[in-house]
Structure 1
């Protein structure tokens, strides 16, 4: 994969059926594989395999800082804060759910969320909540063919709501804009279903 950073080729790992793009520096999640690059801060992120033709054109800086890859915006989901939500997203990618989404008009998400996370969804834990990917705030949301649901901690659900609002503003995502999701800290993605315990390493994000 070509790089515009002068590094040359960026290595690729496949984790959980999705592509992990190792940015222009070392990835902290894989120290045994890649060693240490003089203590430099590393960049680790994961995107859907279907995004590769687009992300091949972009550097880690463009994806993670500029929130823009070619003509597509980027939304970041931090697995350190939302390990179960990140897990649901990766599972949805592996099931062929859309990786390219388009922001819908404001105020449409509640109705869409009720379709997939309404009375038909039965949570198992008191502090659990229904998470849906693709997002209800997108044109693609609210359709069973496009959506995967999974129970996650309520704190993560609140965190995701605030994160999406912030990411939409930061990336300049308005109605009609196309965007993809990139997961940061993918080594912290939950590997088992939610069992009533919030396992996030960083629980500072509430809403």
Structure 2
């Protein structure tokens, strides 16, 4: 092979490698019109869910219309500080609560908002409305709601899934800490995101 041919092949390989590098750094945007595989193996119709920081080991997912609110904050920062700039951000860590993350992502797919309004004064009524007629089918489980009962968007129409009790306890602790560190009151808005989205459970909890 001539020196000129080797040089041409080398340049082509470098160009291909550069193209692959660029493509892998582009955030994954889910198609709103067709069923597509959501990270973690879940097949859903998540509306314009964007996986931010796709190259990060602990990426983050959020519906596309809210991307601009968190694209300047890394998942590790949101997990630690529970906010992005001035916006309170509630992280759902799929590495710790994969089935709750499944319920949240499925609710997004059904049109639920990721931007919620705190309304703890309506929590009891919302919970009763959301869980009316629902029963647990497995032991050591809880019924998870999204939007949560502590929000104005919760209540009748919330998506409910049975999840391991340990997940509900863990997420409950995260929420209490979140409300406290952000000094939140009824009427305050906050954004929900999923971190470690590759760990979202593939299916609803089956015991």
Superposition TM-score, scaled by structure 2 size? 0.71
1:71-104 deviation digits (Å, cap 9, x = unpaired): 5320111111110000000000011012210111
Other-structure match for 1:171 = 182
Contact 1:113 1:142 in 2 (8 A): yes
Contact 1:129 1:153 in 2 (8 A): yes
The 5 A counterparts of 1:109-148 are: 109-118=123-132, 120-144=133-157, 147-148=158-159
Structure 2 residues not aligned, in runs of 5+: 1-24, 30-37, 39-43
Let me know the Cα RMSD of the aligned residues: 2.2
Higher Rg: 2
Looking at secondary structure, tell me which structure has more helix per residue: 2
Other-structure match for 1:185 = 196
Structure 1 residues not aligned, in runs of 5+: 1-9, 29-42, 197-207
1:121: how far off? 0.3
1:41-85 deviation digits (Å, cap 9, x = unpaired): xx41111223124334x3327644443346532011111111000
Corresponding pairs, count: 166
Other-structure match for 1:38 = none
What is the CA–CA distance in structure 1 between the aligned matches of 2:64 and 2:105, rounded to whole Å? 10
Match of 2:56 among 27, 32, 53: 27
Other-structure match for 1:50 = 65
